[in-house]
Amino acid sequence: MTPKSPTPRPVVSPSSAHPYMANSAPALRQELLDAIGVADAEELFEQIPEDHRLTGGLTLPPALRSEAELERHLRRTLAKNGDAERSLSFLGGGVWQHHVPAICDEIAGRTEFVTSEWGTPASDHGRNQAWFEFASQLGELVDLDFVGLPVYSWGCALGHAVRMTARMTGRSEVLVPANLDRERLAVLRTYCQPPEMRSAILVVPVAVDPATGGLDLDDLDLRLSERTAAVYFENPSSHGAIEARGAEISARARAAGAETIVGVDPLSLGLLAPPPSYGADVVVGSTQPLGIHMNCGGGTGGFIATRDDERYARQYPTLQVSIAPTLTPGEHGFAMALFEQSSYGRREDGNDWTGNSVYLWAVVNAVYMSLMGPEGFRELGELLIQRANHAARRIGAIPGVSIAHPHVFKELVVDVTDTGRTVAEVNAALLERGIFGGAALPDDLPAGEPDLGFAVTDEVREDAPAPTSTPSGSPVAPARQRALYCFTEVHAQEDVDRLVDALTEVLA
C-alpha cells in the first residue's frame, strides 16, 4: 500500500497567534515552511494514506482563547460541586481530609517541579534529592531502610507487594482481611489475575474478629498453608480498628513460610509502633495523608518499604533513588538503582512495570514530613486517637447506634442497623444539613472462599461463589447498616457536636 498524494483540504486559517504556540502567527509558521521548502504543511503528512484519514472536520466545543473566559467557565462549572471545606465531611476510607500545610501547596506549585520530566542526575539534582528525602523520611516513619518511589495508590502498592512475595516464595495465595477496603480489594484483584493465567495469585479472605476488629487468629490458622505467599493485614484496619496482635499474626505467617505485609496509615506512626516491630516484612500504605489534598481521589499514592535486603530489594517493581558519588571527591548526587528489577530470575513469570506515578506528590510528602518532625507526628497521632474516641463516645451514646470496635485511631464504624434506618437514608438527611456522612460499608467477604473478583465466567471455576462485592457489580443489600466515619485534625469538638446533634435528630 503506498500513500496517495494528499488532496487539498480546507486549510486552517491561523488568523492570529495562540498564546500556547510560539510559531502560530502566520508569518512565523510560513518562515518554517519556507526553510523546509514546502508550500503547505499538508505535504509533511505524506506518509499517511488517504484511507486512514478522518474525513471532515472535528466537532469540538468552541475555543475559549482568553484566559479570563476559560477560567470563568471552569470556575463556574466546578462551583456546582459541594466540598469538604464548605460542608462538614466525615468521609474517609481511602482518601482522608487532613490539614495541608501552606508550604506543601507552595512547593507543589513550583514550576520547576511541576514541569520537570527526566533530565540528567546533575540537571535534576534538586528534585532527585527531594525524592531521596521522601524515601528517607518515610523509612524513618516505618523503621525500614529500603523504600521505593511511590506507586499510583495504596491498592497498587499492595498489588505489587503481593506479587513480590509470590515471586520470592514461589507460592500463589495471599490472605487478606475479610473487611478489606473494597476499592483496594478491587485493585488487588487486577494485580492477582484470573486463575487461567500462568502467574495467577488467589486472594483468600480471613475472618475478622467482630469484637476487636483485628484478624481472627483461629481462622488465620485454617487459611495458612504451603500455598500462602503472604498474609496481609492493616493497622489500623480498613474499619479503623487498631490491630493488637500483629506479632502473633506475623509469627504464624513465618511459621507457614509466608511473608507478612502490613498496610499502615503513615499518620499513625508517631503514636503506633512501626510494623517491623511486630514482624512485618513488607510495609505498604497511602501517601495521600502526607500533605496531599483529596483532589476527588486524584491525591492517592502508595508506598512500598522493606529491609535493605537483596532478597526484597531485587523484587521491587518501582523506581528507587540511591545516593551516589560524583566525579568531585566527597560530593554526592542521586541515581536510579535497581532499574527493571522484576525481570530477574525464573520465578518472575509476570514482570511488573514502571511508568509515570505520583512523583510530584513524593516531593510534597517530603515537605510534609520535614515540617512535622518526630514531635509533630506524635502530637498529631495523639490528637487523632483522642478525637476519634471522643466521637465514638458521643455517637455511641445515641440510642440505637453502636460503634463496632473498642480501639480506634481516626476512623470508626457507626452501625445504625438497630435504628431501622439505612445508611443511605441517614446520609441523605445529613446532606440536607450540610454534612457528608460516612460511606456505607458492605458486608465482610465470606472467609476462606477465594475471592475471584469480576470477569470470571462460571466455566472457569464451577465451584466459585457468585461475586457479591461492590464497588463494581450489582449492589447487594448488606446485612448490617454500617458506615465508616473519619475524624481528623480538621475537625473541632464543635464539628462533632454538630454531627451528633444532626444524627440524633435524624434518627429520632
Partner 1 sequence: MSPSLPRYRSADWDEPVVLELGRPGRRGIYAPQVEDDVAADVDALLPPGVRRTTPPALPELSEFEVQRHYNHLSQMTLGMMGINLFGTCTMKYNPRVNERVVARPELAEVHPQQDPSTLQGILEIVHAFEGILQELSGMDRFVFQPGGGADAAYTHACITRAYHASRGELARRTEVITTIQTHPCSPATAAAAGFDVVTLPLGPDGYPTLESLKAAVSDRTAALMVGNPDDMGVYNPEMKEWVRIVHEAGGLCFYDHANFNGVMSRIRARELGFDACMYMLHKTFAGPKGGGGPAVGAYGCQPELVPFLPRPLVDLHDGVYGLDEGDERSIGRVREYWGNVPVVVKAYSWVRALGAEGIRQAADLSVIANNYMETRLLQIRGVSKSHPHLTQHRLEMTRYSLEQVHADTGIDVHDIQNRMVDFGVDAPWLAHEPWLIPEPITPEAGETWSKEDIDTWIDVLAEVVREAYEDPETVRTAPHNHAIAQVQAGGVDDPERWATTWRAHVRKRASA
Partner 2 sequence: MPGPDREQDADRPAPGVAHPASGDGRRPRLGLIVNPVAGVGGRVGLKGSDGAAVQRRALWAGAVPQASVRTIRALRRLAGVTGLEVLAAPGAMGADQAAAVGLSATAIAWSGTVPSSCAPGQGLPPTTAADTRAAARELVRAGVDLLLFAGGDGTACDVHDVVGDRVPVLGIPTGVKMHSGVFASSPEAAGEATAAWLADPSPDRLVDADVADIDEVAVREDRIATRLHGRVRVPRDRARVLAAKGGTARRVDAELDAACARTMDDVAPGTLVLVGPGTTAGRALRGLGLPSTLLGVDAVRDGEDVGRDLDERGLLALLDDAPSAVLLLGVVGGQGALLGRGNQQLSPAVLRRLGPGALRVVAGRDKLAALSPGALRVDTGDAELDRRLSGHLPVRVSARETVVMAVAP
Question: What's the Cα-to-Cα distance from 319 to each of 192, 252, 287, 344, rounded to whole Å?
Answer: 21, 32, 16, 15
Q: Does 320 bind partner 1 (CB under 8 A)?
A: yes
Kindly tell me which of 131 and 178 has the beta carbon lying closer to partner 1.
131
39 touches, from partner 2, partner 1, none (C-beta below 5 to 8 Å by class): none
Spatial separation of the C-alpha atoms in residues 59 and 78, rounded to whole Å: 24
Strands across the sheet with 173-177, in order? 146-147, 302-306, 282-286, 259-264, 228-235, 173-177, 202-206
398 touches, from partner 1, partner 2, none (C-beta below 5 to 8 Å by class): none
385: which residues sit within 8 A by CB, 6+ positions away? Answer: 271, 408, 409, 410
Residue 105 C-beta: closest distance to partner 1, Å = 7
Q: Does 343 bind partner 2 (CB under 8 A)?
A: yes
- What the block records as the C-alpha cell of 373 is 518532625
Q: Does 349 bind partner 2 (CB under 8 A)?
A: yes
Spatial separation of the C-alpha atoms in residues 401 and 54, rounded to whole Å: 61
- Rule CB under 8 A: which of 386-405 touch partner 1? 386-387, 389-390
- Rule CB under 8 A: which of 136-175 touch partner 2? 149
Q: Is the Cβ–Cβ distance between 229 and 474 less than 8 Å?
A: no
- Rule CB under 8 A: which of 461-480 touch partner 2? none
Residue 90 C-beta: closest distance to partner 1, Å = 10
Q: Is the Cβ–Cβ distance between 410 and 382 less than 8 Å?
A: no
Q: Does 357 bind partner 2 (CB under 8 A)?
A: yes
Q: Does 448 bind partner 2 (CB under 8 A)?
A: no
Kindly tell me which of 111 and 399 has the beta carbon lying closer to partner 1.
111
Spatial separation of the C-alpha atoms in residues 421 and 427, rounded to whole Å: 10
Q: Does 248 bind partner 2 (CB under 8 A)?
A: no
Q: Does 346 bind partner 2 (CB under 8 A)?
A: yes
**37 torsion bin: left (phi>0), alpha (psi -120 to 50), beta (else):** left
Q: Does 111 bind partner 2 (CB under 8 A)?
A: no
- Rule CB under 8 A: which of 85-104 touch partner 1? 85-87, 89, 91, 93-95, 97, 101, 103
Q: Is the Cβ–Cβ distance between 404 and 242 less than 8 Å?
A: no
- The amino acid that residue 207 corresponds to is A
The C-alpha torsion from 58 through 64 and 70 to 76, rounded to 10°, is: -70
Could you tell me which stretch among 241-249, 254-262, 410-418, 441-449 binds partner 1 (CB under 8 A)?
241-249
- Rule CB under 8 A: which of 8-67 touch partner 2? none
| Selected binder of partner 2 within 327, 466, 477, 508 (CB under 8 A) | 327
380 touches, from partner 2, partner 1, none (C-beta below 5 to 8 Å by class): partner 1
Helix (H) or strand (E) holding 235: strand 228-235
Site residues (vs partner 2, CB under 8 A): 117-118, 120-121, 149, 319, 325, 327, 335-336, 339-340, 343-346, 348-351, 353-357, 359
